[in-house]
Structure 1
Amino acid sequence: MSPLLNLQLALLLAAVVGIAGQTTAEEAKRLPNLVLIFTDDQGYQDLGCFGSATIKTPHLDKMAAQGLRLTSFYAQPVCGVSRAALMTGSYPIRIAEPGNIKRLHTVPHSKETTIAEVLRRAGYATGMIGKWHLGLDQKGVPGGMDPETTPNAQGFDYFYGTPKYNGYTVYVDDVDMRVPIMRNQEVVVEAVEDWDHITATYTDEAIRWIEAHQQQPFFLYLAHNMPHIPLGASEKFKGNSDAGFYGDCIEEIDWSCGEILKTLKQLGIDDNTLVVFTSDNGPWVETTRAMEPRGEAFIPRDHSGNADPLRGWKMSAWDGGCRVPFIARWPGKIPAGWESDEMLSTMDLMPTFASLAGAMLPDVDLDGKDATDFLTRKIEQSPRDEYLYYSGCLLTGVRSGSWKLVLPRSESPAGLGWWGRMIEEVPDPLLFNLDDDPGEVSNVANDHPRIVASLMKRIERARSELGDIDHPGSSARSFDDGPRKLQRPLH
């Protein structure tokens, strides 16, 4: 069904419902546009408004000054896992996957409902530009991805970008791997040889798409490949940042955000558009393989970001792996200059966007919370009262309020494959007060046994409902026959 026909049907339905005194067709036309800008491997501190002294981000700093900055916003610690949580409003351990295989990079089952599907059913045009990384590998098809797991099959009317990540080495020429770029189901670039112009290209694509859909409510998901290695920045930005090549990439992303905001203003839809900026996980800091003191050199320090004052980085089970910058701007709806340390997560965006769009959520258990009243500051308290730390299917801890409990674990735990190398041993339970100790340095478990016991009750509920590395949970979804299997078995 075409996007135009979808809109016509949605407006017709709105008009019919309006007869009953609920929503009119005219009100449906005023539904807010939704723009989600998602970066890749960007550290918590890597914006001026989050403390960077070396990376200049005037457009994002201004966006924060005109809107909301959240300092306890959580994603997931790895790329594909994080995108799955964002798209489905669920912890990845809950999400059904093809063949009931829990993969290191989650692949949502085709029967899972994405945020794009929810919004498209409400009459929204849905466009995705950038990195997908939620597809199932399949040889002999365009882009090497099972057609049922492409963006177009998961709710997006339009897709331009990469089906997977751009690489896993510092330089493109370090390996033979090359990534295609697709427009919908067509491969338009067979193999990317350098990434210098990817941010500018995505920006041009995003602006053209917004201009083409300005007459109807739209959802744009702009998922930058940067600053994931191999890095790339155009001539205007390369070599200009005080933070090296990585900083160049962030400063070009900042420019891109400025271009998006300028376009919305020029089109006269700025006041009716919610723009959200965040990252998929923390920075990939791995100067030597697995950070071994005498290990083989890997990522130069000027090719990755900074999670200070948090502990850890991408793939780790500390806050630096999954706590990311968050900015939201919506003139007249989100108060300017508001900052909060209340918890929120990528999972909360799906129910929040659905609420703003007047859309129906899928009839399944979700972990996301509707944060509409919180984001617009009708209330000061976030609807999220806990965040569970999962590394793949391994439950490693929980945060509630300012308290974080870290569970005992072995070094490089079984079942986590290649990214288990970034997880160190924790022999005994640890308790941190993140308000006083964001770097997770001072264990105060012995001083607060009642808090430890209270948090353990949350852990026990999570193990029962969602599951853990050694068993599925009672509320985990499955659409295929057979037991749950791990991509990297425990034994």
Structure 2
Amino acid sequence: MRLATRIANTSIFFLGVLSTLTACGGGGSGAVEAVASDTAVVVEASAPVADSSDTTASDDPKPNILLIISDDQGLDSSAQYALSQDLPATPTLDTLAANGLVFDNFWATPGCTTTRSALITGKYGTSTGVLAIGDELPASEEVLHRYLASDEQTAQYQSALIGKWHLGGNGAAQSHPNDMGIPYFAGSLGGAIPDYYAWTFSTNGQSEQSTSYNTTQLTDSAIEWIQEQSSSWFLWLAYVAPHLPLHLPPADLSNRYLSGQESDIEDNPRDYYLAAIEAMDTEIGRLLDSMSEEQRSNTIVFFIGDNGTPAQVTDSLVYVNGSKATLAEGGIAVPMIASGMGVGRRNERESALINATDFFATIAQLAGSDVSAIHDSVSFRELLSETDIAPRQYNYVAFESERETGWAIRNQQYKLIEYAEGQQVLYDLINDPLETTELLGSGGDYSSVRSELLAELDAIR
């Protein structure tokens, strides 16, 4: 399916959704522009948006919740942020953004394991001990799926985790998602797969070798699971893409004409990395198209990255001092989109600070829980329909690796980083979002800013 067809299909899909959405403040018609690659994609949004007082066409008022996680996709590789001149064509994500909300200050962590732990527990790594890639999530931690099942307000939710796990540690003794209270798991247990066309596919403890394209098989599994549900559901869909190894996706999934030869991959790594994102976007579109009209109108979709773009394929003209596995913005600032049921803001951007931990409380609250804050998690549900709300005043992340160990903390404007050796750096993220000018060594007096951030750090710890 080529790009023009994908744009048409996703536009048609979301026009149908818009006519039945609930809890959506604002309306009207017209064209909204979504950035794709070098040219803009225009999505016609002529269908009226339901007022928040309307009732849903669904018999089940509680929304289905779809959390889609892209593996190793930073802002420099996301068309919705337009930081790079070299971006993937993602009409499905563009349409989600045009009919929803894009977050500009979402922090994950520098690595996949640490972000997944924060998402699924609502806790910082300093609270769980999961501070490095490959760390095992302690069995004593209550994951989001189990929390939903234990709360009588959300117990009717069916839940699953499809895709990448990477929270079970390393080696043969690694834990399994089912052991943590996740009722259904289908995907891969480790951090990476050796080949997108030859990998180990595990379903609730049973493993087999797959020769299906990884992104396609994960989408097939998600479609099959959703079609089996008869009540509200929560699906954590964690794609492996666009994580290395670099490869040539099936021809009908990407708009890039590449040879797939090893020499070409070595010479043009970012092209193949972006092609994997385009293939994922196509498959997300297929997943959404597979849902019934009733399901679509009653589903909220979140799309996020788990950490920044890998150094091998990052746009170094955008992020000059950091990528995946670093505490720079290139390592922890990642894409975040919310769209669908309950998202009343359309084609808007939000600058509030959001942490990966915040998805725990937000998803629980969307599912009907009374909780608005738990552990290190603060719900941002109200932001989906209202403006001028600041769920948190500070954002924080800690990380350990051979490449970089330390912590980062920020308020709305300033970001302070301390590395393992004790060196501290300060940046003004409003006026210098790409961190080109370090302030502590600039000769200016930033002692009050530093003191404020350190005081909050002490409170967090």
Is the structural similarity TM-score above 0.5?
yes
Q: Contact 2:76–2:309 at 8 Å: present in 1 too?
A: no
- Residue deviations 1:26-74, cap 9 Å, x none? x993211100000111121222222154411111011100000001111
1:203/1:307 CA distance change after superposition, 3 Å: farther
Match of 1:385 in 2: 393
Q: Contact 2:101–2:339 at 8 Å: present in 1 too?
A: yes
The alpha carbon displacement at 1:357 in A equals 1.2
Say which is worse superposed, 254-263 or 202-211, in terms of deviation. Answer: 254-263
Match of 1:240 in 2: 257
1:96/1:53 CA distance change after superposition, 3 Å: closer
1:279/1:434 CA distance change after superposition, 3 Å: same
What amino acid sits opposite 1:280 in the alignment? D
1:91/1:224 CA distance change after superposition, 3 Å: same
The alpha carbon displacement at 1:130 in A equals 0.5
Match of 1:48 in 2: 79
What is the alpha-carbon distance in structure 2 between the residues aligned to residue 96 and residue 76 of structure 1? 14
What is the alpha-carbon distance in structure 2 between the residues aligned to residue 442 and residue 162 of structure 1? 41
* Structure 1: runs of 5 or more not aligned: 1-26, 287-300, 411-425, 466-491
1:307/1:396 CA distance change after superposition, 3 Å: farther
SS in 2 for 1:389: strand
* Structure 2: runs of 5 or more not aligned: 1-57, 259-267
What is the alpha-carbon distance in structure 2 between the residues aligned to residue 365 and residue 125 of structure 1? 22
What amino acid sits opposite 1:259 in the alignment? R
Aligned residues: 381
The alpha carbon displacement at 1:447 in A equals 3.0
What is the alpha-carbon distance in structure 2 between the residues aligned to residue 126 and residue 332 of structure 1? 19
The alpha carbon displacement at 1:337 in A equals 0.7
The alpha carbon displacement at 1:315 in A equals 0.6
What is the alpha-carbon distance in structure 2 between the residues aligned to residue 306 and residue 211 of structure 1? 42
Higher fraction of helix: 1
What amino acid sits opposite 2:207 in the alignment? V
Supply the RMSD in Å over aligned alpha carbons.
2.9
Q: Contact 2:407–2:418 at 8 Å: present in 1 too?
A: yes
The alpha carbon displacement at 1:205 in A equals 1.2
- Residue deviations 1:258-311, cap 9 Å, x none? 1222233x342222211000111001114xxxxxxxxxxxxxx4xx66793574
What is the alpha-carbon distance in structure 2 between the residues aligned to residue 209 and residue 360 of structure 1? 28
1:206/1:154 CA distance change after superposition, 3 Å: same
What amino acid sits opposite 2:204 in the alignment? N
What amino acid sits opposite 1:124 in the alignment? Y
1:311/1:258 CA distance change after superposition, 3 Å: farther
The alpha carbon displacement at 1:373 in A equals 0.7
Counterpart check, 1:124 vs 2:157: yes
Q: Contact 2:253–2:283 at 8 Å: present in 1 too?
A: no
Percent of residue pairs identical: 27
The alpha carbon displacement at 1:332 in A equals 5.5
- Give the one of 403, 409, 412 matched to 1:401: 412
1:228/1:449 CA distance change after superposition, 3 Å: same
The alpha carbon displacement at 1:348 in A equals 0.5
- Residue deviations 1:183-234, cap 9 Å, x none? 1110122xx6x7x711111111111111111x20101111001111113422
Counterpart check, 1:272 vs 2:294: no
- Give the one of 195, 204, 208 matched to 1:188: 208
Match of 1:454 in 2: 452
What amino acid sits opposite 1:453 in the alignment? S
What amino acid sits opposite 2:287 in the alignment? I
Match of 1:218 in 2: 233
What is the alpha-carbon distance in structure 2 between the residues aligned to residue 339 and residue 267 of structure 1? 27
Q: Contact 1:272–1:330 at 8 Å: present in 2 too?
A: yes
What is the alpha-carbon distance in structure 1 between the residues aligned to residue 411 and residue 295 of structure 2? 38
With structure 1 as the length reference, what TM-score do the two structures score? Answer: 0.71
What is the alpha-carbon distance in structure 2 between the residues aligned to residue 397 and residue 158 of structure 1? 35
What pairs up with 1:6-405 in 2 under 5 angstroms? 29-51=60-82, 52-54=84-86, 55-95=88-128, 104-121=133-150, 122=154, 123-137=156-170, 139=172, 145=174, 149-167=175-193, 180-189=200-209, 197-213=213-229, 215-232=230-247, 233-237=249-253, 239-240=256-257, 244-264=271-291, 266-286=292-312, 301=313, 308=318, 311-331=321-341, 333-359=343-369, 366-377=375-386, 379-392=387-400, 394-405=405-416
- Residue deviations 1:71-106, cap 9 Å, x none? 111111011111111110110120157xxxx76433
Q: Contact 1:107–1:135 at 8 Å: present in 2 too?
A: yes
